[in-house]
Amino acid sequence: MNAPSPDIQAVTRESIAAEAARRHGKLLVHLRGWLAGRGYFKALEAMEFSRPFYTGLRKDGLTPKFDHPVRIALRLRTIEAYLPEPELCFVLSFTHDVSEDDNVAFEEIGSRFGRRAEACQRLITKKFRGVQVDDAIYYPRMAEDADTAMVKGSDNCHNIFTMVNAFDVAKQDAYMSKSEQHVLPMLKAVSRRFPRFEPGYMNLRVSLETQIALIREVRFGAQA
């Protein structure tokens, strides 16, 4: 069978990107309305504050960058009843990358969204202005904070879910290995420390384990 012509490939890729942008726009409108309806106005402020930092496309070259925090927040919405401080979790969904990727000071997060938001931002930021936190410190430290661990779990779920079309197999394996070695143990540890919110952490654990298993199963089937 002949490969599709470059023109057909380009049209297909453009149509996929257009559909991704359309879907993202609808989800953004939906999430904004839901947050307003719940009275989560700080989260709405965090959404608008963070949005300019997420310009362009994700590493798949198709999806708007801002789709990432939107998807994190949407996943957390489904387990809202088990979020420790719901609005704080939504705030952190939007701000979690802006210190590491865009050098936004922790103090600015605190001045805009409160001291707890600043504390969580410090915990979830792995590298800031050239200083990187070792994994042996980074994940156990998050496991001591109920809100930060919840957002990190949702963040990791979306990263695993979207990595197949963005990274080569070696990098995918590295992501899955880190999830199994650090993220899943973090979620298990925090659920024991904060048993009231255990269903939320378990939801993230099962989602993450299922995504990893599915990726490996698809690979195995393709090789058979």
Cβ distance 123 to 95 under 8 Å?
Answer: no
Distance in angstroms (rounded) separating the CA atoms of residues 218 and 141: 34
Instruction: Identify which of 80, 81, 78, 76 has the alpha carbon closest to the alpha carbon of residue 94.
Output: 76
Scan for tokens 């989560």, then name that residue.
Answer: 40
The pLDDT value given to residue 86 = 98
Residue 112 CA to residue 114 CA, distance in Å, equals 6
* 58: Cβ contacts below 8 Å, ≥ 6 apart: 64, 65, 67, 68, 162, 166
Give pLDDT, residue 2. 52
**Helices marked H in the chain — which ranges?**
6-38, 41-50, 67-77, 86-95, 98-102, 106-113, 115-124, 135-142, 146-162, 169-178, 184-193, 198-223
Q: What does the block give as tokens for 80?
A: 């809202």
pTM assigned to the model: 0.91
Q: What is the pLDDT along the chain (224 residues), one digit of tens a residue?
A: 455 555 545 558 788 889 989 999 999 999 999 999 999 999 999 999 999 999 988 888 889 999 999 999 999 999 999 999 999 999 999 999 999 999 999 999 999 999 999 999 999 999 999 999 999 999 999 999 999 999 999 999 999 998 987 889 999 999 999 999 999 999 999 999 999 999 999 999 999 999 999 999 988 776 65
Q: Any residues with CB less than 8 A from the CB of 86 and at least 6 apart, and which? A: 38, 40, 76, 80
**Predicted local confidence at residue 9, as pLDDT:** 53
Instruction: Please check whether residue 92 is in contact with residue 151, taking contact to mean a CB–CB distance below 8 angstroms.
Output: yes
117 touches 92 (CB < 8 A): yes
Residue-level pLDDT at 1: 45
Q: Which residues of 45-70 are buried (b: 16+ CB within 10 A; e: fewer)?
A: ebbebbeebbeeebeeebbbbbbbbb
- Distance spanning both ends of the chain, measured CA to CA: 21
Set out the domains of the chain in order of their start, with CATH numbers.
9-216 (1.10.3210.10)
